[in-house]
Structure 1
Amino acid sequence: MIDSFWQALTFTAGYNTTLVTLGSAMLGASAGMIGSFIVLRKRSLVSDAVSHATLPGLVLAFIILALLTGDGRWLPGLLIGAAASAAIGLWGVQAISSRTRLGEDAAIGAVLSTLFGLGVVLITVVQALNVKGQSGIDSYLVGATAGMLASEAQLIGISALVVLIVVFMFRRQFLLVCFDRQYAYTRGINADHIDMMMLLLLLTVTVIGLKVTGLILIVALTIIPPVTGRFWTDRPSRLIAIAALCGALSGYIGAAASSSASGLPTGPLIVLTAFLLFSIGLLFSPRRGMVAMLLAQHRFRRRVHLRQGLLSLARDEAIYDDLTLKVLRRHGYIRRDGVATPPGRVAARDAEHEEHLWSLYRQLYPDEAAQLDHQGLDPIEESLPPDMVSSLENRLPSPARSAR
């Protein structure tokens, strides 16, 4: 199994497997890119509605093709049917939310449940037909690439590449509409048309991803990579690039793992790979990761204890807190018996002087002081302009200034 997985990763497992792996990677990249704009636009639930709305059109297209040809597994026809019903569902969400008092979330819930229920009913009709391929229709729920033809893999790969190129070309307009629709109008951009283009691209990604990840899990491929990118950057352009990379890796590794053994579902493996990348960002991101946050909290706590310990030394107050004593000893500010060392007395005097400056600043400029973080923990010379520090020094009472 490991050898098969490695062959799939290195594109030596055969022509068809290589096409599927590359197509899945391009699908993941395009889903990550368009999903970034959907997440930034705060319309993630729309992708859920679109994916579930594809089921009745998919099954109805299968029934029609089966009655006409005896075999309903012609992929282009199935994708056309899925796209048609998804477009109807998208139009229903837009119409309900714009022409009634219901919010978009309520409209999505109504359309999603209704169309998905209709699709499940149509699946039972398919099982009663005397045609080929009834069992294969279930593969579109969770994805399956084992029996994919080379022509089908080429269609998915080319479609994903086209979507990827279109999203890349219009990324600036998409970002402008996501953050400021009114400003986009002043720049001559029709925000309504851009919104519709984003939704159509989302619909396209959803439809071409049915064979790979399935209609239930394709929504994860449009949401998890952008959320993963959010852990690593604050810049939208970098977020889009990271989301595309995470989506491509998810599709590439998931499809390779699926082809390494028979019976492994493609969609769940792709989503699990995306979740693995998400977990890495959640834990180890240097800015928003849980490990970084715990370390920052730990450092902040020690800074507070160090500051309070130095102020206690300056005021000749007894120190009983074990952590405060430990921090002071680690910095060499007190001996093991608790007596201040010469560097400790200097640091304590400086800390008390800064405390007087901060107290005067809070008294003179309360509004500005309220907006500063970690007052007293950061050196005042690094937090305030030099002229402000000099002004505070000059206005400091004489006893506090002489203590310096």
Structure 2
Amino acid sequence: MNTLWEFLSMQDANVRFVTIGSVLLAASSAVVGCFTVLRKRALVGDAVAHAVLPGVCLAFLLTGQKNPIIMLLGSFITGWLAVVVMDIITSKSRIKEDTAIGLVLSVFFGIGILLLTAIQHSGNEQQSGLDKFLFGSAAALVGQDLYTFGAVALLLLLSVVLLYKEFKLISFDTNYARTIGLPVKRLELLLTTLTVLAVVVGIQSVGVVLMSAMLITPAAAARFWTDRLGAMVIIAAAMSAVCGAAGAFVSFTAPAMPTGPWIVMLLSLLAIMSFLLAPSKGLLSRFLSQRRVRRQMLRENILKTLFHLGEPTGEYQQSYSKTQILARRQLPLRRMQTQLQTLSRQGFVVKDTQGWALTPAGKKEAQRVVRLHRLWELYLTEYLQVASDHVHEDAESIEHVLTPELEKRLEELLDYPTADPHKTTIPQQTS
């Protein structure tokens, strides 16, 4: 508790610099990363992250010192050049974008490693710590670095706020944006520039190797929690800010632990949790939803089977044993027994000494499912020219998801039919 309080009080200036810098870098990268992900250019960020290394090395070779502003400028130039080269390769040749990204990433990163090796053997005393740009060293942030990177981070956030609507439009519908007169090329150019800037300011914290994770991971995680871009941007920025502060805290309490990799690790943990636990889109939620749908389909199939058994005689409330139900339709026995109990609790079936029978409410529900099945069979036969002996399986799948609106539309389209392709009566809708 004392350690946490000391951390929160920020008495150490270095702790303050590291924490604020990590939060700003993480949040600004996440905001820009949202648009990168939506535009399906996630790998471009990775290529740019590796392409900034030669810019760092060239800036040092030209100045002989590790001036953060000069290195920022050198990183930006080579990162931007990498984007231009990728665009030229894809537009002027038959090489696809993914191949162009791989080429640019490997070539630029190779040049950067070559220059870095030459610098390390040059004997220049100022080169100490330059290799930190490979893996990042947030703990090395000082006041001057914080002002420089903080200004760039605020510029990124301000640009997104001011041009939010325009960026949103070109991310989802470029053709419409072009139709209403927006300067799409300039906006894309600006968004690419912001992406390069986000990568450039982030390498000080996590390095070129992990920078793409700072750009992409929070956006990918936030995408699981919402369908709205505004909320996605806020969630991604909040996740990154929290992980940035947490990474600085881990580094403060355990000096041997690097800040940047811990930020990425925490972001990755949040992404995994989002993938598993997010409502509606998470793996667990989808599994539960699919299980509910499968159970509902099984219950409707049981009701439909009981309806079919009573259809020849018109005695829909007659009782039928499990053996008779299984003889009519192959169903998993244990699950059928469970769902019969559920249908009984819902008031759709009743059990007596002879077996199971439909209640009036159950007959109405079964009749609805049978009606949808036969309407869809007729639609497939008449409008899609599917042979009548091939429509049953398709109708089996669709009957469970047809809404009342679609049912009404089918009736109108088919001119209120009374029989399906097999000349079987289509049950009429009951009120």
Q: TM-score, normalised by structure 2?
A: 0.81
Match of 1:64 among 58, 62, 65: 62
- Aligned runs of 1:173-322 on 2, under 5 Å? 173-314=166-307, 315=309, 316=320, 317-319=324-326, 321-322=333-334
Structure 1 match to 2:312: none
1:379, distance to aligned residue in structure 2 (A): 8.3
Q: Which amino acid aligns with 2:146?
A: A
Q: Which amino acid aligns with 1:47?
A: G
Q: Tell me if the contact between 2:66 and 2:126 (Cα under 8 Å) persists in the aligned partners.
A: yes
1:269, distance to aligned residue in structure 2 (A): 0.9
Structure 1 match to 2:44: 46
1:338, distance to aligned residue in structure 2 (A): 7.3
Query: In the TM superposition, what whole-angstrom CA distance separates every residue of 1:69-120 from its partner, at most 9, and x where no partner exists?
Result: xxx3322222222122212222222222222232222222222111111111
Could you tell me how far apart the structure 2 residues matched to 1:147 and 1:398 are? 80
Match of 1:357 among 346, 359, 371: 371
Structure 2 match to 1:19: 17
Query: In the TM superposition, what whole-angstrom CA distance separates every residue of 1:278-316 from its partner, at most 9, and x where no partner exists?
Result: 112101111111111111121112112211222233324
Match of 1:377 among 400, 404, 415: 400
Could you tell me how far apart the structure 1 residues matched to 2:398 and 2:82 are? 54
Structure 1 match to 2:86: 93
Question: SS of the counterpart of 2:247?
Answer: helix
- Residues 399, 178 of structure 1: alpha-carbon distance in 2 compared, 3 angstrom cutoff: closer
Could you tell me how far apart the structure 2 residues matched to 1:227 and 1:310 are? 42
Question: SS of the counterpart of 1:232?
Answer: coil
Could you tell me how far apart the structure 2 residues matched to 1:161 and 1:373 are? 56
Query: In the TM superposition, what whole-angstrom CA distance separates every residue of 1:141-169 from its partner, at most 9, and x where no partner exists?
Result: 12112232122122222221121111121
Structure 2 match to 1:339: 355
Structure 2 match to 1:328: 340
Match of 2:165 among 160, 164, 172: 172
Percentage of pairs with the same residue: 29
1:358, distance to aligned residue in structure 2 (A): 1.1
1:402, distance to aligned residue in structure 2 (A): 11
Q: Which amino acid aligns with 1:313?
A: L
Structure 1 match to 2:136: 143
Q: CA RMSD in A?
A: 3.2
Q: Which amino acid aligns with 1:204?
A: L
Q: Which amino acid aligns with 1:15?
A: A
- Residues 177, 293 of structure 1: alpha-carbon distance in 2 compared, 3 angstrom cutoff: same
Q: Tell me if the contact between 1:360 and 1:392 (Cα under 8 Å) persists in the aligned partners.
A: no
1:331, distance to aligned residue in structure 2 (A): 3.5
Q: Which amino acid aligns with 2:29?
A: A
Q: Tell me if the contact between 1:393 and 1:401 (Cα under 8 Å) persists in the aligned partners.
A: no
Q: Which runs of 5+ in 2 are unaligned?
A: 310-319, 385-390
1:347, distance to aligned residue in structure 2 (A): 4.3
Q: Tell me if the contact between 2:275 and 2:283 (Cα under 8 Å) persists in the aligned partners.
A: yes
Q: Tell me if the contact between 1:309 and 1:325 (Cα under 8 Å) persists in the aligned partners.
A: no
Q: Which amino acid aligns with 2:376?
A: R
Q: Tell me if the contact between 1:36 and 1:226 (Cα under 8 Å) persists in the aligned partners.
A: yes
1:374, distance to aligned residue in structure 2 (A): 6.3
1:388, distance to aligned residue in structure 2 (A): 5.2
Q: Tell me if the contact between 2:53 and 2:109 (Cα under 8 Å) persists in the aligned partners.
A: yes
Structure 1 window deviating more from structure 2 (45-54 vs 370-379): it is 370-379
Could you tell me how far apart the structure 2 residues matched to 1:169 and 1:372 are? 51
Structure 1 match to 2:116: 123
- Residues 285, 146 of structure 1: alpha-carbon distance in 2 compared, 3 angstrom cutoff: same
Structure 2 match to 1:69: none
Q: Which amino acid aligns with 1:101?
A: R
Q: Tell me if the contact between 2:21 and 2:149 (Cα under 8 Å) persists in the aligned partners.
A: yes
Q: Which amino acid aligns with 1:110?
A: L
Q: RCO higher in 1 or 2 (8 Å CA, sep ≥ 6)?
A: 1
Q: TM-score, normalised by structure 1?
A: 0.86
- Residues 250, 328 of structure 1: alpha-carbon distance in 2 compared, 3 angstrom cutoff: same
Could you tell me how far apart the structure 2 residues matched to 1:215 and 1:386 are? 57
Question: SS of the counterpart of 2:131?
Answer: helix
Could you tell me how far apart the structure 2 residues matched to 1:250 and 1:18 are? 15
Q: Which amino acid aligns with 1:291?
A: L
Could you tell me how far apart the structure 1 residues matched to 2:351 and 2:40 are? 56
Could you tell me how far apart the structure 1 residues matched to 2:17 and 2:288 are? 44
- Residues 371, 239 of structure 1: alpha-carbon distance in 2 compared, 3 angstrom cutoff: farther
Could you tell me how far apart the structure 2 residues matched to 1:394 and 1:111 are? 63
